[in-house]
Structure 1
Amino acid sequence: MFFLVIFIFNCAAKAGLSLNISDSCPSMCKCAPEEVIHCNRAGLRALPGEIAASTVSLNLSNNYLRILTTNTFRNLTFLHSLWLDGNNLTFLSPGTFHALSKLRELDLSRNSRLTYLHANTFRGLLNLISLDLSHCNIFEIHPLLFSHLPSLERLNLASNNMRYVPQAFSNLSSLTRLSLESNHIEAIGRDSLKDLESLYDLNLRKNRIWIIQNGAFTRLLRLGVLNLGHNFIADLPNQLFNGLIQLKTMHLEANRITDIDCTFRLLLNLRNLYLNNNQISSISDSAFSYLNKLHFLHLSKNNLSSLPLRLFVELPKLKYVFLSHNPWKCDCKMFWFLRWTAMFRGALEGLDCSFPNRHNTTALGGPQPGDPMDCTAPPELESKDKCGAAGISVAPGPPAPTSEVFLLVAICHTWYFARRWDTSAHPIC
């Protein structure tokens, strides 16, 4: 039997046949027995001719490839994954990938000379699931560019030079993740995203967005994560996020927002809300009404001096609240918050605030206007609610504190703040 095998091998060799993938492995590449070829960082300026037709995965990252033609991959019909990131690609001929009907993952990122893609660039990629075009220099996308990708689920267009949302998403009915981060987009139109009904994760972070038309998100009924952080958004109209009934995480940090009214009222599944690093000075009483699943709230680095009385009344799931770096004014308007924190069982950070105690007020010669010791007749707390006209029911707030309670807090403030309001820390408190 041994001699028979040797005889067959010698005959195959004389006939020029290959019995091992390593026989078709380019010398500058590394090949695995599972038909995976790694030619990354190999100094390639053209595709090696020795690549086996049975190759399933081909890594050509970080080389010097410039132009791909219709013949470049014509024999690699079994490819499932193709990495072309970090090359010098300047042009992709129409139909470059037409023979790769089994391809599922294509990475073209970090090709800084790639500025434009022909409408037929991706023709033939009927089973492509993931496409990465990030960190290129694309400034315009043909409306039909993605029309040949019915199976696409993940599309990365981050860090390009686009100034508007491409009108090229009409056939991407399977798309679940889309990143347009770090472009130069200034506006989101009413119809910009209307065809992305399966989208779950939309990343528009680090653009120049300052205009969002009402209705822009109406069709995104499955969206779970929306990132609008680090933009120029100043206004949040009450109907802005209508349609986002499944939204779980909202990023609006590092914008120019000054007040919060009823914008979030219909986000019934919202769990995480990032509003930090804005210019918020006013929040409506009913701003977070109906957010029964809200778990995490970030309001640090704003211009808040107080919070409305009913703000946290309807947030039974709230566990994490961040409030640091705000100019808090600890007077009668904020006394309700002290009482609320005594019952709050989650993590609260950043309220750099302490009420004057009895010794301090004595040293000052008596109660000062706005101090708790001056709250013997609690004032009507000013309501900032602007949602009443929109049909929002306002839950009753906690009862107004009595003068005795204010006096008790004046005595115990040291224990409350030094020990994070642990009421068991002092027998009187």
Structure 2
Amino acid sequence: MCSIVIAVYFLLLPPQALSLWACTRSCPPSCTCTQEKSCSVLCDHVSMMDLPKEFPCEASSINLDKNSLKFLSERAFGTLPSLKTLSLDHNNISFITPGAFKGLPNLVELKMAHNEYIRYLHTRTFTALKRLVRLDISDCNLFNLPDRIFLEQIALKELLCFQNNFRRITGAIRGMENLTHVYLERNKIEAVAYNSLLGLCNLKYLNLQENRINVIHDEAFKDLVRLENFYLNDNLLVDLPQQAFKGLSNLKMLNLGGNLMTNVSRTWFSDLVELEVLYLDRNRLSYIEDGTFENLTSLITLHLNSNNLTSLPFSVFQPIYFIGRLYLFRNPWECTCDLEWLKEWMESYKLVRDIPCASPSSVAGLDLSEVVYVHLNGTCLDPPELNLTTSLPDYPTMENKFNSLISKLLQQELMDEMVNATDGLRNGTQQDSAESQVSSGHGLFCAAQTVFFLVFLFQAQIDCINAT
């Protein structure tokens, strides 16, 4: 009779209360189970060393972040048909038994990032996760992935493998047509081979920044026809294949900053008609080929700062009038007439600033916006180079002559007075000698007055020259 009453009682409960009861009735110790839109199990930050023996069957998400879990056995989570999200970030997991995630047929997102002891994953680690869409195995000290590890993950769209120890792009992703986002930054990848990215025809985001890439093979990106955001910055690239980005007509952002490139070829960007943002900063660029940007009709922002550029002729920079932001600072600019067009463009559109001149010496230290270009018969004249090692011709020459004159006057006067004093000592009395010395001193005094008068005249003349 009691069981019938209990059954009737639960039948009369509103659906929300019934779901809450179902979610909390088997909530693991040390965990919190909540029912908002669905059943969530929160077991993070509880120093857990072993997985609970049971989770609520209705659980849609389980958070086990920041615990001390070390080992995942086969079917570690039992059977949880409603589970969509499982997070195991920041644990001490070192080994995952093949089939550990069996029993989770509807899992969509699996996060295992920041488990520094995971160095290897078995080919069958993710067996049965056929609906997995997002997988995060970043910062796990992985050296590689087995080529067939994602054989069953045909729905996988986002793969996060950044900050591992990969020395090459894993072959496990080849042919995965549904992948849209791949994160491989901060690894140790040294090259992009011609077959590294084969079959990724729906990829929209690829991040290879902060690796050791120094070689990119011809046609390495040929299948990335839907790619929109591409990060190749902070690698060791010195050069690129002539047709490196051929066919990437949907690319909107390309980051090549922080490499070792010294020049830019006009063939690199010829197909990038949708490109909006281009980073070429922090390289060693000293030369950009004419027409390099002529097909970039959608370009809004261009970063050329922190290079070795001295000039930027207009023939290089077409189509300048589509640009919204142009970054040119930290380059040793030669502010000759070749940059006059850039100054005019700066003044007209107010979209670029901070272009300090390194030369010619007459304008060194000035911003390009402060340089005044002189025209003679319609022709622009470059600012002059100043010979800073040679004295100016006018008053320093006069000063030299003046010093020479004073020196001669003083020497002559001193010799005359010494002769007079000596004659006085030989021919006269002590009184005559004293008078001779007085006379000599008077002569030197007069000579000094003459010198001071000449100094005064000379200084007045110099002030007059400076004033004019």
Q: Percent identity?
A: 35
CA distance in 2, matches of 1:165, 1:6: 59
**Preserved CA contact (<8 Å) 2:292 2:317:** no
CA distance in 2, matches of 1:316, 1:184: 40
2:31 matches 1:26: no
1:318 aligned residue (323, 338, 342)? 323
* Off by >3 Å, runs of 4+ in structure 1: 3-10, 353-357
Compute the displacement of 1:321 (Å).
Answer: 0.3
Question: Which residue of the partner structure matches residue 397 of structure 1?
Answer: none
2:276 matches 1:274: no
1:299 aligned residue (292, 295, 304)? 304
CA distance in 1, matches of 2:241, 2:22: 65
Question: Which residue of the partner structure matches residue 236 of structure 2?
Answer: 232
Residue 232 of structure 1: SS of its match in structure 2?
A: coil
Compute the displacement of 1:61 (Å).
Answer: 0.7
Question: Which residue of the partner structure matches residue 425 of structure 1?
Answer: none
Residue 337 of structure 1: SS of its match in structure 2?
A: helix
Q: Mean alpha-carbon deviation: is it higher for 326-335 or for 127-136?
A: 326-335
TM-score by length of 1: 0.79
CA distance in 2, matches of 1:236, 1:260: 9
TM-score by length of 2: 0.73
Q: Give the alignment of 1:163-174 within 5 angstroms.
A: 163-174=167-178
Residue 338 of structure 2: SS of its match in structure 1?
A: helix
CA distance in 2, matches of 1:58, 1:98: 15
**Preserved CA contact (<8 Å) 1:149 1:171:** no
Q: Give the alignment of 1:188-203 within 5 angstroms.
A: 188-203=192-207
Residues 20 and 148 of structure 1: CA distance in aligned 2, closer, same or farther (over 3 Å): closer
2:209 matches 1:209: no
Residue 340 of structure 1: SS of its match in structure 2?
A: helix
Q: Mean alpha-carbon deviation: is it higher for 313-322 or for 85-94?
A: 313-322
2:290 matches 1:285: yes
Q: Give the alignment of 1:27-106 within 5 angstroms.
A: 27-33=29-35, 34-106=38-110
Residue 333 of structure 2: SS of its match in structure 1?
A: coil
CA distance in 2, matches of 1:64, 1:276: 43
Letter in structure 1 aligned against 2:324: K
2:339 aligned residue (334, 338, 343)? 334
Q: Mean alpha-carbon deviation: is it higher for 262-271 or for 223-232?
A: 262-271
Question: Which residue of the partner structure matches residue 314 of structure 2?
Answer: 309
CA distance in 2, matches of 1:21, 1:92: 27
Q: Mean alpha-carbon deviation: is it higher for 291-300 or for 94-103?
A: 94-103
CA distance in 2, matches of 1:41, 1:9: 37
Larger radius of gyration: 2
Question: Which residue of the partner structure matches residue 241 of structure 1?
Answer: 245
Residue 335 of structure 1: SS of its match in structure 2?
A: helix
Aligned residues: 364
Question: Which residue of the partner structure matches residue 134 of structure 1?
Answer: 138
Residues 81 and 346 of structure 1: CA distance in aligned 2, closer, same or farther (over 3 Å): farther
Compute the displacement of 1:25 (Å).
Answer: 1.2
**Preserved CA contact (<8 Å) 1:146 1:171:** no
CA distance in 1, matches of 2:75, 2:133: 23
Residues 346 and 123 of structure 1: CA distance in aligned 2, closer, same or farther (over 3 Å): farther
Residues 50 and 73 of structure 1: CA distance in aligned 2, closer, same or farther (over 3 Å): closer
Compute the displacement of 1:355 (Å).
Answer: 9.1
CA distance in 2, matches of 1:231, 1:312: 25
Residues 4 and 73 of structure 1: CA distance in aligned 2, closer, same or farther (over 3 Å): closer
Q: What stretches of structure 1 of length at least 5 have no aligned partner? A: 11-17, 362-370, 378-401, 411-429
**Preserved CA contact (<8 Å) 2:259 2:282:** yes
CA distance in 2, matches of 1:166, 1:249: 24
